Chain A
């Protein structure tokens, strides 16, 4: 599944329209602890979090994640978006809380892998 399909299906608000959304998404990972994501997320995963500061981009970039979805309509910091564009990490937001959002991702066929 590519990122664009997820964006369409879940009506995500794309905060980095400059970036292309054809990245293949291999699975999903949820955590607000950065070391947990560093240690346990897999390359190509979409990351669901409520953290909005710019260090999430460093983590996503180092891990080769497909993108970041911020839940509960959290607004990313401007620095975060600038860095995300520079590092080619798409950032999207959802109005849904994590539980609802992840339920829908799972229904789309996405798994933790």
Chain B
């Protein structure tokens, strides 16, 4: 049984018991054709749960920025999400070059993107700050030459 299947299967069983949704999307570096699909799917899950619009909007911003970072900078990665009654947590893990200086990377306007990426309108140095602004908690762990793991949480108000 594949890892993906296990996770999804587990997610489905849990959903029946306790209203938890979870899943995983695989991301391929430089695959601009499918860029945004994972975030769009996650948005669909939130809409199905009738999560309030503002929270869907914030999650979509953070997920898209994180997804694009994998597409632009990494070889491959995955996005895992888990939605409970109280929060949306998303983990994006990649195999990539890593971030040598996270504080610098968090500075608005700082970017290491090559020119062709910038010409597409990406790499403006707003991605990580956008994630920070849109989420309630945001953690980055990175190892140069190995990859980056980014996790964010958005709280759900009671009754959502």
A93 interface contact, C-beta 8 A? no
B134, closest chain A residue (CB): A39
A74 interface contact, C-beta 8 A? no
Residue from A31, A35, A39, A55 having most chain B Cβ neighbours under 10 A:
A35
A88 interface contact, C-beta 8 A? no
- How many A-B pairs with Cβ below 8 Å? 64
Question: Which stretch from B56-64, B95-103, B147-155 is at the chain A interface?
Answer: B56-64
A45 interface contact, C-beta 8 A? no
Number of interface residues of B (CB under 8 A): 24
Q: Which residues of B contact A36 (CB under 8 A)?
A: 124, 126
Chain B nearest CB from A94 CB (Å) reads 18
**In the bound complex, how far is the Cα of B39 from the Cα of A38, in angstroms?**
12
Residue from A51, A55, A61 having most chain B Cβ neighbours under 10 A:
A55
A54 interface contact, C-beta 8 A? yes
B61 touches A55 (CB 8 A): no
B43 touches A35 (CB 8 A): no
Given A33-B126, A34-B122, A35-B127, CB of A62 within 8 Å of CB of B60:
yes
Partner of A58, one of B64, B133, B134: B64
**In the bound complex, how far is the Cα of B68 from the Cα of A34, in angstroms?**
10
B36, closest chain A residue (CB): A58
| Chain B residues touching A, majority SS | helix
A15 interface contact, C-beta 8 A? no
B159 interface contact, C-beta 8 A? no
Chain A nearest CB from B118 CB (Å) reads 9
B124 touches A55 (CB 8 A): no
What are 18 pairs between A and B in contact, CB < 8 Å?
Answer: A33-B124, A34-B68, A35-B65, A35-B130, A38-B65, A38-B130, A39-B61, A39-B130, A43-B53, A43-B57, A54-B32, A55-B36, A58-B35, A58-B37, A61-B40, A62-B39, A63-B57, A64-B57
Additional A-B contact list (4), CB under 8 Å, known A53-B120, A56-B121: A58-B36, A58-B64, A62-B40, A63-B60
List B residues at the A interface (Cβ < 8 Å).
32-33, 35-37, 39-40, 43, 53, 57, 60-61, 64-65, 68, 120-122, 124, 126-127, 130, 133-134
